[in-house]
A and B are shown apart, each in its own frame.
Chain A
Amino acid sequence: MSLFAELLESSRNFVSTMGAVTLFFGRTMVQLPAALTRPGLIIEQVHNAGALSLVIIMTCGLFVGGVLGLTGYDLLLRFGSEDALGTAAALALIKQLGPVVTALLFAGRAGTALASEIGLMRATDQLTAMEMMAVDPIRRVVVPRFLGGLISLPLLTIIFIAIGIFGVQVVGVQQFGVDPASFWSQMRAAVEVSDIMEGVIKGTVFGFACSLIAVYEGYNAIPTAEGVGRATTRTVVISAVLVLIFNYMLTAVML
């Protein structure tokens, strides 16, 4: 197929996938009230998506904060404004790095887990068995997992940001000797609550997108081992692309 035809095909696939995902979301929402009557399931999924991702999020947060401290200090030193390290790093973390990096890590860890779990249930007929037992698998399996991811990602984002700022502080103040008073006071002066809300909103939107893609791919995976693998790969790729696209859009809107 010529390159142009391939591109056309990919775009068409992308558009129909978006359509299918939207319809799937509609089906999910229909089952939402029923699914909310089983909070135990939702809590379990918040645990799977969130609590189990804590270690990776906190570790990466620390190192991203550290790198921000290193690079930020290096850059600001050239302009003689090292005191602004706190401000610059905090804003970068809160508005951009926090939400985006957390979402990408989430897609890699929790998104793949969700997709492969549901995909495996599809491949071993567990979902069909549920349908046969007159239990709607969307209500029992999909909705709790979607909600679990949706609740977890904003919380993970905040934790990432907090740890990240700590990381910046360790590098900037402890290692490079930036004055701690100006580090924190300048940060305080420049960072508004609205900035933090921006980060939380982004986290929520990304959580929505990543969780929805993951459960969709898992539910509609081809019921073979290869199919589940492909569904998992697609989850990460599509989630990452969407996160970055949404990030651009949200940043433009909230500026």
Chain B
Amino acid sequence: MRSNRAVEFSTGLFVLLGFASLFFLVTQITNRELSTNGGSYGVQAQFENIGTLKVGAAVSMAGVTIGRVESIRFDQTVYKAVVDMRISSSFNRIPQDSDASIMTAGLLGGQYVGITAGGAEEYLKEGSRIEFVQDALVLENLINQLAASFSGRSGESGKNDEAPKSEESK
């Protein structure tokens, strides 16, 4: 049995280097934060349309990530998408009447949940539900709205002129 110290040493170095690289990759280049510090609490929100929101997407306030989307499912009784989120325990003063909207990061970025603070004095806690939500913007709806507002404006001006004058005979 040859216990060649040099061989053992370099092998150990090699294996350590491998694990160090793995550690570096996992911590530095993935979005795995929130891992072990302090714990978290779960909060729910229901949306008519979540767009392309994915599990693991960020939950942020004022642009700062405070949590993650844990799961997304479809509730057949209310026909809405139910999004469960995990928020880091250090952010425990989010008013109960805050609203959650699905936003897009940048022009081509992924979607995330943005929370805007309300004014209530009670805060969200484990199991709370965010009542005020804003769904993801769907391109088709946006176009329809735009088209409707254009045609409405031209019709509207006509209507406005007519309405007050309806009492007087033209």
* A–B contact at 8 Å CB threshold (below): yes
B11 and A158 contact, CB distance less than 8 A: no
A40 lies within 8 A of B29 (CB): no
Cα distance, A162 to B26, chains bound together (Å):
10
State the majority secondary structure of interface residues on B: helix
Do the beta carbons of B109 and A189 come within 8 Å of each other? yes
Cβ contacts under 8 Å, B148 to chain A: none
* A193–B32 CB distance below 8 A: yes
Q: How many residues of B contact A (CB 8 A)?
A: 29
Whether the pair A90, B29 counts as a contact (CB closer than 8 A) is yes
Which one of A47, A94, A188 lies within 8 Å of B11 (CB-CB)? Answer: A47
Verify A51–B29 contact, CB threshold 8 A: no
Which one, B4, B21, B29, B110, contacts A159 given CB within 8 A?
A: B21
How long is the Cα–Cα vector from A191 to B25 in the complex, in angstroms?
A: 10
Q: Are A46 and B11 in contact (CB under 8 A)?
A: yes
Instruction: For A45, give the chain B residue with the smallest CB separation.
Output: B11
SS class, residues of chain A in contact with chain B: helix
Interface residues on A, range: 20 to 34
Return the contact of A47 from the options B14, B56, B105, B109 (Cβ within 8 A).
B14
Q: Restricting to B25-64, which residues have a CB under 8 Å from any CB of A?
A: 25-26, 28-32, 56
* B154 in contact (CB, < 8 A): no
Within A163-214, which residues are at the interface with B (CB < 8 Å)?
163, 165, 184, 187-193, 195-196, 200
The interface residues of chain A lying within 8 Å CB-to-CB of B29 are: 90, 165, 184, 187-188, 191
Residue in chain B with minimal CB distance to A157: B18
Contact of B7 among A47, A152, A190 (CB under 8 A): A47
Known: A38-B1, A51-B11, A195-B30. 12 other contacts (CB 8 A): A40-B3, A47-B8, A81-B108, A94-B25, A152-B14, A158-B21, A162-B21, A162-B25, A187-B29, A189-B109, A192-B56, A196-B26
A-B interface, 10 closest residue pairs, ranked by CB to CB distance from nearest = A155-B18, A162-B21, A51-B14, A47-B11, A158-B21, A51-B10, A159-B21, A158-B22, A47-B7, A191-B30
